Amino acid sequence: MATVLYNAQIHTLSSAQPYANALAIGNGSILAIGSDEEILSTFGLAQAFNAGGKCIIPGLTDAHIHLETYALNLQRVNCETHTRAECLARVAERAQNTPPGEWICGHGWNQNLWDEGFGYSPDLDGVAPNHPVYLTAKSLHAAWANSTAMQLAGINTRTADPTGGRLSRLPDGTPDGILFESAMQLVEDAIPDPTIHKVEQAIQEAQIELIQMGLTSIHDFDRRRCFSALQHLHQQERLHVRVTKSLPLEDLPHAVQLGLRSGFGDDTLRIGSLKGFADGALGPHTAAMISAYEDDPQNYGILMLDAEELVERGRSAIDNGLSLAIHAIGDRANHEILNAFSQLRAYETAAFPTTSYRLRHRIEHVQLLHPADQARLAELGIIASMQPIHATSDMEMADRFWGTRAALSYAWRTQLKHGAVLAFGSDAPVESPNPFLGLHAAVTRRRADGRPGADGWYPEQRLSRLEALQGFTSGPAYAAGMEGRLGKLAPGFLADLLVLDTDIFTCDPDQIKDTRPSATMIGGAWVWQA
């Protein structure tokens, strides 16, 4: 028997029928959509729900989230504070309630927001002398460790900087507790791994929060342990949010041996792309730049993956039906990756001349492009996987560290104008996964507190409400190879939808950030109701 929702303001995001008042659902999919009279006369009232005039939109997708990290961080020290002293106070409080010798982990600090700047190991030693402490930065591209943690990791004056990373040091060469990029792994290898059971438990709890925020699908960029936990949850029918799961690029040989391909799986859990890193991040000055940072004239960031290496790996990936998703933030990193994709598209065409299908390759973040590279994602058919909330969060750092180049950063309108597909996400736990914060940022280019003013930061890059919503719906669906089943409310599409008290198409733009679903449906089943 069909389920009917009627007396609603339905924004379908389908060009064939953009607006409707009622829809019918059966076997997890949309059967029909139209007026109240059309749908009720066809399907009757047996399983009909009066929406009371509320707004209905497709379920939203976070196209870039670190699910395991986000889930576990809900249990860690929240280091997203206004001052370094406040962060240290939170660590001290956790230390008082943690048995001596156990690790204290936290996340979220940003030295650029602290008048005191970076913290160092002695600061943590003072508040947690009996515990190893490890705190990841908001960017996830730097970390802060105390002396005990470094000792357990075997880090001392003789420890060399690893490839693709750096240990911050005192003038005498002694590591001072700040670790950048791959150097973070030195300490992370010393931290006892959480059990699969703990990860499963954390993910199961975290997905409830995501669903309540309005997320019905995610693209996850955590690693193998997360994939194992997701498979187990799915097998036990405890995974409700849809997941497109990336795999680490370094696991390419294993993926090939197993015969995994992008798109393998089902509507709940499927294989996405191979994730690699071309550079670091803006905040810690590790994003790879063509010209140096404005406040650090000798620093050009860290390039971790150049065009030659990506082409070599990419050919093997393409031969085996695996798409690529490459993290690139700085303009040099994006330039190198676009050069690689140009060669890989030519290889793809030559290797598979009889098919028009192209793998859904992506660049993750695309925060700064050189003017000569602005049109290349569209030309090469590369998805721009971007996070609107990064623009409003990073705007002051971008202005300070990139100067006039910031006018070309976080340029969603520019990419859309050239014809690139936008897939929006949050990069949680770097930012909140709340998609309505991302929608607000995309539409206004303003923070929640209204900064930097009525017009927003570089307002020429603002998107319409429809364009922003497509970034959280049809764009991610295309990236996952599910554009024929997800991202719209239309016959044959999966019945993933949100019921909202606020019509985000007509409300004041500032109301978007405060919007929450009153009900969330995934596959025709209500998974959340306020």
Instruction: Please spell the DSSP secondary structure of 382-393, one letter per residue.
Output: -EEEE-HHHHHH
Query: What is the predicted pLDDT for the residue at 51?
Result: 96
- pLDDT classification of 354: cutoffs 50, 70, 90: confident
Asked if the bond preceding 429 is cis, omega within 30° of 0, the reply is yes
> pLDDT confidence of 353, banded at 50, 70, 90?
confident
CA distances from 420 to 16, 283, 349, 362, 413 (A): 22, 26, 19, 11, 10
Domain 67-188 -> CATH class: alpha beta
d(C-alpha 195, C-alpha 197), whole Å: 5
pLDDT at 356 (0 to 100): 77
My answer on whether omega of the bond before 452 falls inside 30° of 0, hence cis, is: yes
Task: Check whether 192 has a pLDDT greater than 80.
Answer: yes
Q: Can you list the alpha helix ranges (DSSP code H) found in 472-508?
A: 474-479
Secondary structure E strands in 262-393: 269-277, 324-328, 362-365, 383-386
The 10s digit of each residue's pLDDT in 22-68 is: 999 999 999 999 999 999 999 987 789 999 999 999 999 999 999 99
- CB 49: neighbour CB atoms within 10 A? 15
Q: What is the mean pLDDT of residues 498-503?
A: 97
CATH T-level topology, domain 274-463: TIM Barrel (3.20.20)
* pLDDT range class, residue 115, cuts 50, 70, 90: very high
pLDDT at 365: 98
> pLDDT tens-digit profile of 88-105?
999 999 999 999 999 999
Nearest to 250 by CA among 196, 316, 195: 316
Q: In this prediction, what percent of the chain has a pLDDT beyond 90?
A: 95
pLDDT surpasses 90 at 355: no
Question: Residue 108 above 90 pLDDT?
Answer: yes
Stated length of the chain: 530
Per-residue tokens: 340: 């690689």
Mean pLDDT of 490-517: 97
The alpha carbon dihedral of 436, 139, 131, 224 has a sign of positive
C-alpha distances (whole Å) from 277 to each of 17, 56, 139 are 40, 37, 14
Tell me the domain boundaries of the chain.
1-53+485-530, 67-188, 274-463
User: What are the backbone angles phi and psi of residue 79, rounded to the nearest 5°?
Assistant: -100, 10
Task: Give the model's confidence band at 314: pLDDT under 50 very low, under 70 low, under 90 confident, else very high.
Answer: very high
pLDDT value of position 83 = 96
Side-chain half-sphere CA neighbours of 204 within 13 A: 14
Backbone angles phi, psi at 398, to 5 degrees: -60, -45
Q: Residue 46: what pLDDT?
A: 72
Check if 67-188 and 274-463 are the same fold: no
User: Domain 1-53+485-530, CATH 2.30.40.10 — does that match?
Assistant: yes
CA separation, residue 268 to residues 150, 231, 237, 433, 495 (Å): 40, 10, 10, 19, 13
- Per-chain mean pLDDT for the chain: 96
CA pair distance 303, 82, nearest whole angstrom: 31
Question: pLDDT tens-digit profile of 439-488?
Answer: 999 999 999 999 999 999 999 999 999 999 999 999 999 999 999 999 99
Among residues 458, 335, 454, which one has the least CA distance to residue 396? 458
Question: Please, is 20 exposed, middle or buried when counting C-beta atoms within 10 Å of its C-beta (0-12, 13-18, 19+)?
Answer: buried
Helix, strand, coil % (nearest 5) of the chain? 35, 25, 40
